[in-house]
Amino acid sequence: MIRADRLCLAIAFAVTTAAQLAPAHAQSAEAEVLFRDGRNLIKRGKLAAGCDKLDASAKLETSVGTLLNLGDCRDKLGRPASAWAAFRKAEAMAKRSGGDDKRQLEAGRRATALEPRLSNLVIVVPAGTDGLVVRRDGEVLDPAVWNTALPVDPGSYTIVAEAPGYLPWRQVVPIGLDTRRQVVTIPGLERAPVAPPVAAVPPPASPFEPQPPVMARQAVVRSGGTWSVTRKLSAGLALAGAGAAGTGIYFGLHAKSLQDRADRRCPLTVCADPEGLRLNDQAHTAASRANILYIAGGAAVATAAVMWLVGAPDEILVVPSVGDHQAAVSMTGRF
């Protein structure tokens, strides 16, 4: 029995010791890969890229070790406020988990060492403006942090104040490495100008009310004579149509000649004479060309005739007339 009790005590001691030495929880695969990549980049001197990897790892799964490395990286980049925030978060996390006194003390020591170097920005917001929204670099600030000194990294910050019915206010605030406290006071916002009322439009006149007659003026449009541009084009088109028709006649006669020669060599429907078959194919091709040229020539001549008839007149008399609820235009002239 004594040996069994001793064995149970030994097992309990071993389990307790292992639990204290093991981490509080296992790191996820994605967070672990990002953490290792960040450490490797920092070792190669690529601080900015390494910090980004560590920050992404901490967002996936926060751990004391990741926060300590992230704080150290930000401190080396000259971002003391961000580094201070990471160390304070690591200190609080180690304190909550328990059994991690060494890293808790290290995180607190690093945060305390950074505090004399911190730059603080205070945004003083006056009361009395309903719906006021304050933004810092586009991020909306909770009203709880108004009028409070907030640690910020060196750089330029754009402060914007907006409220419904007021003109927005904007100011760029520079924060240097030697700036310890910068105060920005948002002034009372100016009222937005009120748009003038839109003038009332008189209603349209009733369609039943008689309208006074409107006198019309005659307009005379003169052309350049019988051979206008349209008639010149019609003449050219007529010549082209006649040429196409003439060429069609040639192909028609040629097709008839070829067909006669083919019929003499092959008088029957079924023909085995190669020359006769060749002449027959050529006759069909010539006939097709003749038909196409006939159609094109005829269309061109017809179009030319229409263009000649509607060519510009020597003189056109344009007479506009306006009466009660109607308007018209009449034209007279010689074509």
What's the predicted TM-score (pTM) here? 0.49
Strands 119-124 and 181-185: parallel
Q: What is the pLDDT of residues 12-61, one digit of tens each?
A: 444 343 334 334 344 688 989 999 999 999 999 999 999 999 999 999 98
Cβ atoms of 67 and 108 within 8 Å: the answer is no
pLDDT tier at 235, thresholds 50, 70, 90: confident
For the chain, how are helix, strand and coil distributed in percent, rounded to 5? 50, 20, 30
Selected residue with higher pLDDT from 202 and 182: 182
Cβ atoms of 132 and 101 within 8 Å: the answer is no
pLDDT of residue 216: 47
The 3-state DSSP class for residue 66 equals helix
Fold of 119-185: Immunoglobulin-like (2.60.40)
Cβ atoms of 89 and 129 within 8 Å: the answer is no
Angle CA 253–258–259, to nearest 5: 95
Q: Is residue 218 scored above 70 in pLDDT?
A: no
Q: Which residue has the tokens 């509080």?
A: 24
Cβ atoms of 148 and 122 within 8 Å: the answer is yes
Cβ atoms of 218 and 317 within 8 Å: the answer is yes
The stretches of the chain forming alpha helices (DSSP H) are 2-21, 29-43, 47-60, 64-76, 80-97, 101-114, 229-265, 274-309
Nearest to 25 by CA among 89, 73, 93, 88: 93
pLDDT of residue 8: 46
Cα 317 vs. chain centroid, distance in angstroms? Answer: 56
Superfamily (CATH H level) for 27-116: Tetratricopeptide repeat domain (1.25.40.10)
Q: What is the pLDDT of residues 125-151, one digit of tens each?
A: 988 778 899 999 999 999 999 999 999
Q: Is residue 118 scored above 90 in pLDDT?
A: yes
Q: Is residue 267 scored above 50 in pLDDT?
A: yes
Mean pLDDT along residues 162-191: 91
- Percentage of residues of the chain with pLDDT beyond 90: 40
Rounded-to-integer distance, Cα 264 and Cα 268, Å: 9
